[in-house]
A and B are shown apart, each in its own frame.
Chain A
Amino acid sequence: MGAKLLSALLPVTCGFLGVLFSNLPVTLFGGLVPPPMLGFIPVYFWCLVRPDLMPPSAAFAIGILQDVMSGGPPGIWTLSFVVSYAVIQRQRDAFAGLAGVAAVLGFATAMLIVCATAYFTTAAYYWHMAPLGPIVGELAISVLFYIPGAFVIGSLHRRLVGPLRSDF
């Protein structure tokens, strides 16, 4: 019972921890390198492999925490996460079938949707187009961090969560 509960809570917990880590108010390299969007990696990963453990409401909750922690306008990241979740869910077979570099490109596509949604929502919010540099930097660094992130999450998934039994 305890192990089952742990495996059920693990994806959302990883999302929350990712948000907390990536929003620590600590900058390395003088703020030149933006923090990666670690909270979105579990959303993407478990939306593909175990959507029963990463429902839209979980993506919504992780997005809200990202909004609270990042200090930006309320709702921007929540909307971005949910929009990207919707796209991933519709194209799940295509995304989940990717491996190696293609899997990283798949995450890059999902992250591009997140960043584009956040960028245009913020532009509408302030009625002003923000410079593209910071959001492109955020996209690049998040994709870079997906490689170790997916490795860690994959290990956790194999050890603690596992595939859905009904799929066998």
Chain B
Amino acid sequence: MTNNSWKIARRSNAQLPLVIVLALAVVLVLLGKAQLGLFDRARMRITDWMAPALESVHAPIQAFNRWVSSADELLVVYRENLELKDENARLKQWRNVAVVMQDRVRHYQEMLHAVPDPDINSVLARVIGRASRPFLQTMILDAGESRAVKPGEAVVDARGMIGRIYLAGDHTSWVILLTDLNSRIPVTIASASGKAASLQAIMTGDNTAMPLLDTLQQVVTLHPGDQVVSSGDGGLLPPGLPIGTVVQDAGGYRVALLADPASSEDVEVLGFRKPAEAPPSASPNQLPAVAAGLPPAAPPQPAPVPGSAPAAPAKAVVTPLPQMPRPAGNISAQAQVPRANIPAAGGNE
């Protein structure tokens, strides 16, 4: 570059002609399209190998990021403090409302003998790396298959859902963020006013900060502020995970995410498996005749054994309906209220 002094070689001793290499590159793209996990094993090996180094550089990098982001915040700290005090007072009121609602939901569930929510195993993990590239937005966690983390599981922080596990190595895992091009999540949109019915939609990442909402209906009216939670369709993600709120955009509707992946430090990986639904077992009490209040048909009489006493006349016996088993533990109201926002009743502030 400097002084135009480079001596330029006139010929190349390439082992492979350029055309062949170009063809190989095209084949690689097609192969990658057919088999998406082509490089996954190599990626996880490299990430597992780099994990100790990443953990050691994580603290200074994080401190630098915090310092950079706090530099401009110093100017508005007083005004922000007043706003936070105001917001805190309002949140305390909402907390009381939420505790009452939680209690009421628990009461209704007990009255209805509701089936308890399936157990969710969670694994706490630390973010040891982040990458924001033109076609991939991801973070790396310090938990992998050795701690039962599996691809597809939801990753949440205290505010809401961040993404899903994309690749899981032995000691690390990659998270695909909700904002990534490859992210598609089935969601439920609940009206903020509570007057309209909830809607189902697909939330699609497009590498911007706010993912798109693709509603299934042709014409739909959403309102800014409507709550977006995971719907649980497909059985991979638990239903009711808080994700964000609806905002209107020129091209449709988008979701302002509650969680901020750029600042999340400790996250939870939710291991959720929807239990397989067993078909109801048939019993005589569930026969239509019994349900209608009629005696069931008498079972066929066995042939009398010679020499034995005559059989007693057949008598219809109606047994009481079996009692549904009560749930063993507390029924969690996870599907109805955000997990992180509702502290236990009587908990300290």
Contacts and interface: CB of A to CB of B under 8 A. Distances in A.
Contact of B29 (A26, A48, A121): A121
A26 B61 contact: yes
B57 A125 contact: no
Interface string B1-33: 111101111111111111001101110111111
A135 B21 contact: no
A35 to B, nearest CB: 7
Interface in A1-46: 23-31, 34-35
A71 B131 contact: yes
Contacts of A69: 43, 46
Given A55-B12, A73-B135, A97-B4, A130 B207 contact: yes
Contacts of B17: 56
A25 B131 contact: yes
Contacts of B43: 68-69, 71
Nearest to A129: B206
Q: How many B residues are at the interface, by size bracket? A: 35 or more
Contact of B130 (A26, A135, A164): A26
B4 A99 contact: yes
Contacts of A97: 4
A135 B18 contact: no
A86 B18 CA distance: 7
Nearest to B57: A26
B129 A130 contact: no
Nearest to A132: B134
Interface residues on A, range: 35 or more
Contacts of A93: 8
A71 B22 contact: no
B114 to A, nearest CB: 41
A49 B8 contact: yes
A72 B1 contact: no
Interface string B26-64: 101111110010110011001100100010010001001
Given A49-B8, A71-B43, A79 B134 contact: no
B136 interface: yes
Contacts of B135: 70, 72-73, 76, 118, 122, 130, 134
Nearest to A104: B1
A150 interface: yes
Contacts of A56: 14, 16-18, 21-22
A68 B46 contact: yes
Nearest to B26: A79
A57 B68 contact: no
A63 B22 CA distance: 12
B138 interface: yes
A73 B33 contact: yes
A130 B134 contact: yes
B253 interface: no
- Best-surrounded residue of B11, B12, B57, B206 (most CB of chain A within 10 A): B12
B131 A23 contact: yes
Given A28-B68, A56-B14, A167 B9 contact: yes
22 contacts: A25-B130, A25-B138, A25-B140, A26-B129, A27-B131, A27-B262, A56-B17, A68-B42, A69-B46, A71-B136, A72-B133, A72-B136, A75-B31, A89-B18, A97-B4, A119-B134, A122-B135, A125-B33, A126-B182, A134-B132, A138-B134, A166-B10
Given A98-B1, A103-B1, A133-B208, 13 more contacts: A27-B131, A30-B262, A34-B132, A51-B11, A56-B18, A57-B16, A69-B46, A73-B29, A73-B33, A73-B36, A74-B36, A130-B134, A154-B1
Give the top 4 A-B pairs by smallest Cβ distance, nearest first: A74-B32, A25-B129, A163-B7, A75-B29
